A and B are shown apart, each in its own frame.
Chain A
Amino acid sequence: MKKGLVLFLAVLMIAVSFMSCSNKEAKAGAPQKLTVWCWDPNFNGYSMGKAVEVYQASHPDVEIEIVDVPDNIEGKIEAGLQAGGAGLPDISLFQDYIIEKFVQNYPGAFVDLKAEGIDHSQFAQYKVAPMTDGDKIYGIPFDTGSTGLFLRTDIISAAGLNPDDYQKSMTWSEVIALGEKVKAATGMPLIAYDNTSFDFLRIMVQSTGTQFFDNSGNVMYDTPAVKKSLAYIKEMDDKGILFMAEGWNNWVAAFNNDQSAGLMNALWIIGTLKSKPENAGKWMVVPTPIVEGVANAQAASNNGGSSWYVLSATKNKDLAVDFLKSTWAGTTPEALGFYNEILKGAGAMGTFLPSRSGSNYTAKDEFFYKSQAVYKDFSAWMEKVPVLYYTPNYTAMRTALGNAMQGMLSGNITTVDGVIDAAAAEYKQTTGN
């Protein structure tokens, strides 16, 4: 034990001395360097890498290091902010639902990019709204989480149905009717559902243009949208239409390995679908089903999506801003070209509106049934995504409701009202609000 401590301290001291060395080098006028944090090297890292290539073509002396932070990037940023900015990168990516919490809890932690001359009217407004605080706008929106219902046409055909009859905007009742037919004929659940994730309910509720909060930002679970969505999930589970997956890998296996006939999620899942080339020509995407009976329900929603932020603790603010401005918010042919490239290369669809003129946005995709132009569809659905706020309490809200929903699916909570009561009770206890 003692030995371990000594070793640890020794390593620490060596590390510290190395760090101070590298600082000195930087001051001596070496090439400028930026550090960027993001997760998922095949998606976010890949996309940022392409932006770096564009920037370095005109700024060969700038070095930009992309650091892969696979786990809880928000927690690491929070730890750095608590330490007064120590150890933080110049630029970081994080999920859109986090920014309101950070803005409330850490005022001034991020650079106001509107003041730095970024024109946010060029981005999808539903992405800009959460990062706006008064007349300050903190981030550069990255990808959209425009959602759809992915269905396997070959399994629908095997159930004696014509997939073309279902390639349209459906209500959840219609989806359930389809699910019952597929289940009866093939024994296969229609939709793979990840029991550890909040995504499914989030997509349903947001498609009605609401969140889980009242107008002043207090948590409100007892809304028609939440109740109706929970009731549909329960009905589908009771009827065996959902494949109940445990976690991401199990969920991916459920729809890639022929254990279910579909899934509902955002367009960024397309890369995962394509990792199974045998399924080429079998998938189709239809609009997000409509939660009928709820005001303003529509056939579009959003799940996930993140944005780039410049941390105020950076020593290279001007360089970081210039880099983002001339790539992610740039209208040069090179910048627009890289947006077009990451759409094809990683299935990452940006929310920079001028970039949608790229050829890949309208291209037919051989991987999909009858070469559906999926990105054209997702791009059109993105326009309908309503402006929504997440409030600083989104994570606590989501955790409590997610737990109550797991209670419903394991049979411990039998009614929708029971789920709402349990979620409200846990939220109150865990936040003290």
Chain B
Amino acid sequence: MLQIHNRYHRYLNRTGWGFIAPALAFYLVFMLYPIGSSLFLVTQKWRGMSREFVGLGNFVRMAHDQVFWKALGHNFLFMAIQIPLMVFLAMVIAVILHQGIKRFRGIFRTIYFLPVVTSLVAYSILFRILLQSNGLLNNFLHSLKLITEPIGWLNDPFWAKVTIILALTWRWTGYNMVFFLVGLQNINKEIYEAAEVDGASQIRQFFTITLPLLTPVILFSLVTSTSGTMQLFDEPNVLTWEGGPANATMTAALYIYRQAFVLNSDFGYASALSYVMVIIAAVLAFIQIKVLKERN
């Protein structure tokens, strides 16, 4: 009896409970309750205030909803192309800033980080002006005789995807670059000195010293970017007019929002779609954690 008391009495520590009570209250109200109630939501077909029990009907409906699966496909497409491109660029810029440039380093760092703190709406309007058919970019390419017909950066289903990838890269490269800069500063200079004494070239130093020692940063970048791209919403919503043209840049998160607040007021179906997204994100996170653990 006493033993049991000893084993469990730490769970009954009132002071401890008192300390975590505020956090726990917020957790219950803002995390557990929404998750629990959303389990109820997915069984409902909603039309605003009126709702009707459909059991797993929302998931059956989802199976036929090609717009959603196409949107989810776009998430993976953006992930597969944009993230490697961005992480590579971020690393290259960080290395150049760290080793190659001696003057104005701070200015360059600021310039590359600026897109992160720029207003999304402002930059979307600028991008639209630059990218429209008779815009600056097409005129520039035309004057270089690289193209004969204007490219539909916003109008063409293929090029609109390219635009989203470019916009994301523009916005987030500087953000990731900061992590690489920190990573580079943490590499001991003596390692490079030793390598130089051994006669290793700059390129060789990069591949055998810099790159392996930056692996944790690369993984961190990949993990955060993956979850960011999984939830991608802003660019397709603002830059390409709600996932246009003709759903060519529709993403899962944007489609869920539109189901709830634009198209049908169907919060049940939107919740069901969210569950699918959460499961996919969880699987991705699980894989990444595994990879990270193996590395460590």
Contact = CB atoms under 8 A, between A and B. Distances in A.
Contacts of A428: 64
B84 to A, nearest CB: 25
Contacts of B261: 72, 75, 78-79
A362 interface: no
B231 to A, nearest CB: 15
Contacts of A196: 241, 244-245
Contacts of A61: none
Interface residues of A, number: 41
Contacts of A105: 47-50, 265
A396 B264 contact: yes
Interface in A65-96: 72, 74-75, 78-79, 81-82
A363 interface: no
Contacts of B156: 410
B263 A249 contact: no
A172 to B, nearest CB: 24
Interface in A386-403: 392-393, 395-396, 399, 403
B132 A250 contact: yes
Contact of A410 (B49, B128, B155, B263): B155
Contact of B128 (A81, A250, A431): A250
Contacts of A246: 128, 132-133, 154-155
A324 B47 CA distance: 30
Interface in B240-296: 241, 244-247, 258-259, 261-267, 269
Given A72-B261, A429-B65, A430-B263, A247 B241 contact: yes
A406 B133 contact: no
Interface in B135-177: 152, 154-157
A72 B238 CA distance: 12
B40 interface: no
A407 B246 contact: yes
A286 interface: no
Nearest to B257: A75
B245 A410 contact: yes
Contacts of B245: 195-196, 403, 406, 410
Contacts of B265: 78, 101, 105
A244 interface: yes
Contact of A259 (B61, B125, B134): B134
Contact of A106 (B49, B65, B68, B155): B49
Contacts of B61: 432
A249 B155 contact: no
Interface string A1-37: 0000000010000000000000000000000000000
Interface in A112-138: none
Given A79-B261, A250-B128, A430-B263, A9 B26 contact: yes
Interface of B: 26, 45, 47-50, 61, 64-68, 125, 128-129, 132-134, 152, 154-157, 241, 244-247, 258-259, 261-267, 269
Closest 5 CB pairs of A and B: A105-B48, A75-B261, A403-B246, A406-B246, A432-B61
Interface of A: 9, 72, 74-75, 78-79, 81-82, 101-102, 104-107, 195-196, 244-247, 249-250, 259, 392-393, 395-396, 399, 403-404, 406-407, 410, 412, 425-426, 428-432
